[in-house]
Every structure is written in structure tokens, then in C-alpha cells.
Chain A
């Protein structure tokens, strides 16, 4: 229902644009997009995932019948507030830099005794990961991005992320940088953040998890990256792979200091 209304409004806005003069086109286009964003921002269905995530965090589950409340997301066991804006980071217990989604899977395994099935988006245990990250992200809303670069591993992963960002390949020769290394560029009418710059990088990094109006799905960062690569005509990015973590680290560090937006609502 909501989806339909939003679509109709967008269509109406689009028709209005076409009737507009050619000279005012760019401004009118941008105004139309802004109007659409305002309309959909009023009431974000991501709240449903947030509530579910909060329950899942406290719920006893798995062979060990314990909750995730002892899970260390980087700021100490059980600390949720501020965790989202300071990930990925290095974890001494695994000797690895991990992102939020990968760390949650790790906690399910080590604390609850679950062998988490997370390879397919929104299936099996991944459903719970989606809800958990939405709640955990919401707990950091408004806090500045603060992805660390203290441990040598964090610095190495950033450098890998930077190289991965510029890695051109596939039948279309696309890299992340093809679309995300300049200001004020668009694909069709979709604005493209320049991920080399602080403000757009920080906003983009904290725009996920997001509720997507076009398909009614809740997308965390890994799913966002996977779909970017799909459109780059690459093979399928694996869940919380080294590359996902490295690109998240690169984006996050580039956006350090920007106030976190997640969860957001997107077209």
C-alpha cells in the first residue's frame, strides 16, 4: 500500500518535471528528487526490523541457549551504542579485522553455538543478521563515524580497500571508482556519492542498512556492496568477505567524523 502511494507520487513528480522548461530542468529534477525523499522519509518501515533485532539480541538461542548480550562488537562485551560507527575494526580474539555482519555471525557461533548459515541474503540465519544490524545501527544514530586506524591490520585493510575501490575489471571495465570518484555525477537520475570525500563517504557509509521502497527489502552494507558488484557485471560478492570488509573500512575511514544516518529509507 505504502509502496504504491510512494510510487504514484514519484510518477506524478516525474510528469511534472517533463512539463517543465528545459532551462530549469536540472534544478527541477533535483527538486523533484528532494520532494520524493522528504515524502518517503516520514515513517521508515526499518523500525520493524529494529524492534525484531532488539528482541533477537536479548533472546536465548542456539544449542547453548544464551543471548547475544555478551557479544563484543569492539567496545566491550554487550556494548551496542557506538559500535556501528566504529566498525570494521581489528579484533584480538580472531586476529582479524571484522565488519558488523561478520562479527555477529562470529558471536552466534562462539556464544550461542550456532553454525550460522549466512551465505544467502535474508535466508536462514542471515534474516536475523539483517534485523540485528538494523537495531545496532539505530543505536548509533547521530553519532560521528569513528572507524579506527590504530592497529597495523586496520591500516593494511584500508590500503587493500583503496586498491579494491579502483580495481577495474569485468566485461564493462568498471571499478567502484567509475561511478563514485567525482562530485555531482548521476546514473539516470540517481545521484552518486563521491566516496573519496568525507561528507558523501560518511553519509553513504551510514546510509546502510536501509529500507528499500522499490522492493520492500532491508539491505545491510554487504548486500549493498554485492548489488553494486552485480551491476559492475562482476561475479557474486561473498558475505562478509575480505573484500567487503576492506571496502567498508575504506568508505568508513574516508567518512570519519560524519554523523550516522542509519537506518535510512531509499528508493
Chain B
């Protein structure tokens, strides 16, 4: 109790002095927020409290975005390199699955909330943020349009590896992207990602028609 009052007093003083939360340094308000986040949630179903922990890239991006700033160049390089190292290419060397299954994964938005059960296949949530095939008009706009993704880029080795990497861990290419790390975070399986690759890159996919 007395600790809380002290913290409050310190924070209030900082706010009034107008020097709270200088970007780059962890301020008392940042620490206080972390404490408040931790006590304001309870675990439910598959969503345990460890989900509230931030890794380096999430902590750095949260702090920078709050001040409307870009990441410090050295921090950006470090976290992007670290995320790049997590990317695993398919063991069998095959990147392209079935675009029809890929379309169904792209449509699916379920998975990993506390109301979902463990072990069920997760959706890719792709249409929530991207235009993909032309037939689906109910698409979100948080991410860029992926219509004609393969037609515009071809299916060369570099494109295939980049696209796989982007699906597996988008933070390797752009630290503060809003895109989840589907492979790294275990949201999608290798087989599911292959099917999404086909949706984007297979010449027969409606995306490239």
C-alpha cells in the first residue's frame, strides 16, 4: 500500500514536471504500466498470464510507437537479426502446397483466444487484414493488398524464400510490422504455411488470375 502511494507520488511528480517516459529509457510510468498489465488479467482457458510478457522486439516497438518514433537503427538491426535467425525453411525443401486449402486457411480467423480449445487447427486470419483473391470482397485493410502477389513477383527462389520468411516471422524484415509471426509463434503449422504459399504464388491460384 505505502509502496503504491510512493510510486503514485513519483509518477505524478514526473507528469507534472513534463519529463516522464523519455524514449529509450524505462521510466517509472513504463514500469508501473507493466505492473498494472500483470495484475489486470486472469488466465482463462489456453490463455495463460505468460502471454503478457514482452520480448525485446515487442517492448522496443511499443515504446517507440507511443512516441510516434521509429526504432533506433541499432536496435532495429539487432531485433531484426534475432528474428531472422528463428526462420526455419521446410525440411523437405518443398515450399508450395495446395492453394485451395490455402484459401480456406486464409479465410479462417479462429484460434488461440481463451475461448478456443487447445490443439484445434488455427486460421491464418489473412483476410482480416489483406485483400487476397478478387472474389472475396470482405477483406480488411490493415495490411497491403496481396491480389496478384505471384503474378507481380514471379516464383523465383528469392521470392519464395522471402515469402516463406515473411509468413514465418515478419519481424525479421520489418521489426514493428503489425503482422503476427505465424511460424515463430506456432500459430500455423509448416503444412498450413505451404498451402498459404500456394495461394500466393501458384499460377493456378485465383490470386494470380
Contacts and interface: CB of A to CB of B under 8 A. Distances in A.
**A and B pair up:** yes
Interface of A: 14, 17-18, 22, 25, 29, 152-153, 155-156, 159-160, 162-175, 177-179, 181, 184-190, 192, 229-231, 233-238, 241-244, 246
Interface of B: 8, 11-12, 15-16, 20-21, 29-30, 32-33, 36-37, 39-44, 47-49, 51-54, 57-59, 61-63, 65-66, 112-115, 127-129, 134, 137-142, 171, 178, 180-181, 185-187
Contacts of A243: 36-37, 40-41
Contacts, number: 155
B29 A159 contact: yes
Contact of A171 (B12, B21, B137, B185): B185
B166 to A, nearest CB: 14
B202 to A, nearest CB: 22
Contacts of A234: 41, 47, 51-52
A171 B112 contact: yes
Given A155-B15, A189-B138, A246 B36 contact: yes
B15 A159 contact: yes
Contacts of B52: 169-170, 234-235
A163 B65 contact: no
A171 B180 contact: yes
B15 A152 contact: yes
Contact of B114 (A162, A236, A242, A244): A236
Contacts of A169: 37, 51-54, 58
Return the 7 tightest CB-CB contacts between A and B, nearest first: A243-B40, A152-B12, A241-B40, A163-B33, A236-B44, A168-B58, A172-B180
